[in-house]
Amino acid sequence: MNPIRLNDLIESFLNNRYRVLKLKLFFIIGIIAGAPLILVSLIAYFWLYGIARDDFAIKLSEKLETASLSIDFYISEKLSGLKFLTYAYSYESLTNKETLNNIFNLFKREFGEMVDIGIIESNGIQRVYAGPFNLTGKDYSRHDWFLKALSKGYYVSDVFSGYRNIPHFAIAVKKNIPSKGSFCILRATIDLDSLTNRIQAMGLKGSEDAFLINNRGVLQTDSRFFGRAMENMDVGLMDYRRAYSKNITISALKDMEGFIGYKRLNSVDWYLVMLTKDSPHDKIIELLRHNYTLVYLVFGVLFVCVVLNFIVSSRLIDWIRTSEKNREEAIARSEHANRLASIGRLAAGVAHEINNPLAIINEKAGLMKDIIDITENVPHREKLLALIAAIAQSVNRCRTITHRLLGFARQMDVNLEMIDINTVIREVLQFLEKEILYRDIRLELDMDNGLPSIESDKGQLQQVFLNIINNAIDAVQEEGFIKIIKTFRYNQDSVGVSIRDNGHGIPADKLKQIFEPFYTTKEKGKGTGLGLAITYGIVNKLGGEIKVDSEVGRGTVFTVILPLRLVSKTGDSIL
């Protein structure tokens, strides 16, 4: 059976076994410990729901009390100001246009939010007017607020549009004129925006609403949920009632979550209504913070049903799985190291044995070439010279392979010095410059000139980058394909070199093998399989790390990470 297929079957079997074990642990813990806790939690929930509902109602009544006092004070202040004017100024002064304009400007500056002011005679005709509209001579004798002011002496009207077709309300005060045996009305108007600003100052949330309404169900200010000012509102919203004071009533909303409360204002025949659509269910979480017994109960449910489940089952099984995986990786690394050591010893012997006959073959081929060069009329001269050149080329290739074998087998000492990684890259590229130009490969460099010097072996780093860049050159095709070499600061203690090509790429199933000796992804006869194995050993010896990322058809990226300082086992720099 294929080893890869066998490993897949074993992994699938283990996953199924662990999955079954997780389910068993979950249900056992849930039945034994979770069910009683859930029952107690349900009982506590309904108890908390009642607490949260009452808390909503109490807070709503407190807001109503505070807001109604603010609005009452605002209207009473304006009413008191008008009353003061009726007592402080004579009828003759009030009916003087210039004097009334001065009073209006003074009143507006001190009290603010007043639109206009006017004197209305007993017949309902406005005699003198100060303000932005042309309302002099208007007849108010049939207006409701005028009739109410006559009977009561003063009156704060409902919101109406009037002659100006803008929602506003009027404050009117009756002034007797004993000398004439008659009276007049001092009237000031205030825009609806002033009331709206008072409502907005309450800092309502998106789920809350507040508005004013008269005793006939007509809105005096805009409402988020029930319409605009001067529209009728459906007051049949109450489910149950509970009075929290003499004038405050709190009701549950029908057909929706939330509460509505209202209070009658003292200064005017209006009601301040506040509404919240927040649910007591959401309030339960807040209440749990102040009741440690319930917090412990909820924590117990979560601990038994969630924490123990993850710790006992998931974490334990994951730990076992991770341990097995680490063990397999350690065995694989050990086998890899043993293979490297064995091949190194073998390589040294093979290289020495092959070099001697190779030298003889090379000398004999050279001698044959010399004889042919000095001899005239040699039959098939050109063909023989070509064959001798092929022999020399093959000998040189064998010599290259044996030198690599010796380099792989030899335990070279590390010669540390402070070096500039950018300089090392440029020196390596000088060796490859002719081949890059010959193959018409576009080379892009992205080097960080601010990189610090590193402590390493310059010669061995040159070999590392020479091997990787050679592989990249072999991987890309000719004429215009790109290879990028980038240097960068990897982290505080290391730098990185990234070598990218857009060649044929390496299949995912072969990435784990590319650092093994004699393994190559190149075409047959083009690689020995020693370059990356030697590179991997050098980088590890220099305290670094090499990473590879590849995608078939799109190219490969080799990233070499090197420490700024090569640290010994005692933790000190070994320079």
- Residue 127 is predicted with a pLDDT of 92
The topology under which CATH files domain 417-563 is Heat Shock Protein 90 (3.30.565)
- CA separation for the pair 510, 94 (Å, rounded): 102
pLDDT in tens, 18-27: 677 667 766 7
Question: Which segments of 33-143 does DSSP mark as H helices, in order?
Answer: 35-88, 91-94, 97-111
Q: How many residues does the chain have?
A: 575
Question: Domain residues of the chain, as ranges?
Answer: 1-290, 334-409, 417-563
Q: Over pLDDT 70: what percentage of the chain?
A: 71
**Fold matches, 334-409 and 417-563:** no
**How would CATH label the architecture of 1-290?**
2-Layer Sandwich (3.30)
Which of these ranges, 42-46, 398-402, 497-501, 522-526, has the smallest mean pLDDT? 522-526
Q: 557: which 2 tokens? A: 């990226």
CA atoms within 13 A on the CB side of 440: 4
Host H or E run for residue 25: helix 3-29
Q: What is the CA radius of gyration of the chain?
A: 48
pLDDT in tens, 358-397: 778 888 888 888 888 788 777 877 888 888 888 888 777 6
Domain boundaries 334-409, corresponding CATH code: 1.10.287
Number of H helices, E strands in the chain: 14, 17
pLDDT in tens, 342-355: 656 666 666 667 77
Other CB atoms within 10 Å distance of the CB of residue 113: 14
The whole model's pTM is what?
0.45
Q: Nearest-5° angle of CA 279, CA 67, CA 55?
A: 30
Q: 445: which 2 tokens? A: 């460099």
- CA separation for the pair 396, 402 (Å, rounded): 10
